[in-house]
Amino acid sequence: MKRDKKGRFIKDGGEPLSIIHKNKISIALMGNKNMLGKHHTKKTKRKIGEGNRGENNGMYKKFGELHPNWKGGKFKSDNGYIMIRVKDKYELEHRLIMEKYLGRKLCSWETVHHKNGIRDDNRLENLKLLPSNEHNTKIQKIYQENKRLKEEIKRLLKLIKKEDK
């Protein structure tokens, strides 16, 4: 049996299948011809739903370490930082490492900077504590220097191309 570009079944000649052929194929694919074209009653739907509620559900009261998807309370966030579960909330690993090193809780205005710019490299020698405004100033300088170097590379590449001609 062939399919067209949209995934529909077609005959060898390319014309679409009749409704009878479609039903036969769907029965073969589903494997349950008894429910073809039928729907569950409201009572049956309610019984199915009740079967998976509360203690009947295999995941009932399974969260945290008991949940099968538990990965030790540690994951990498969408923006690249490592998050660690502390009590009932997740915190940034690099801030926890700096707090442990200093022996005190960090203030909200203090920033832990990754010297090499790699957000999941939380070795103590790669971390530096900065006030927020100083962190932003340093990052801004790095971006400006990066932009200047890219422009310089473009200029040099143009000079090389001119010399080759």
Residue 95 lies in a domain: yes
pLDDT digits (tens, 9 = 90+) for 72-103: 889 999 999 999 999 889 999 999 999 999 99
121 versus 72: the higher-pLDDT residue is 121
Residue 136 lies in a domain: yes
Residue 149 lies in a domain: yes
- When divided into structural domains, the chain yields a total of 1
Yes or no: say if 81 and 94 are a contact pair by the CB < 8 Å rule: yes
pLDDT of residue 134: 66
Yes or no: say if 79 and 70 are a contact pair by the CB < 8 Å rule: no
Residue 130 lies in a domain: yes
Residue 87 lies in a domain: yes
Residue 113 is part of a domain; what is its CATH number?
3.90.75
Residue 68 lies in a domain: no
**Structural domain harbouring 123:** 74-164
Residue 122 lies in a domain: yes
pLDDT of residue 59: 75
pLDDT of residue 40: 81
Say how far apart CA 143 and CA 156 lie, in whole Å: 20
Residue 30 lies in a domain: no
Yes or no: say if 129 and 102 are a contact pair by the CB < 8 Å rule: yes
Give the least confident one: 39-48, 53-62, 101-110. Answer: 53-62
pLDDT of residue 31: 60
pLDDT of residue 9: 66
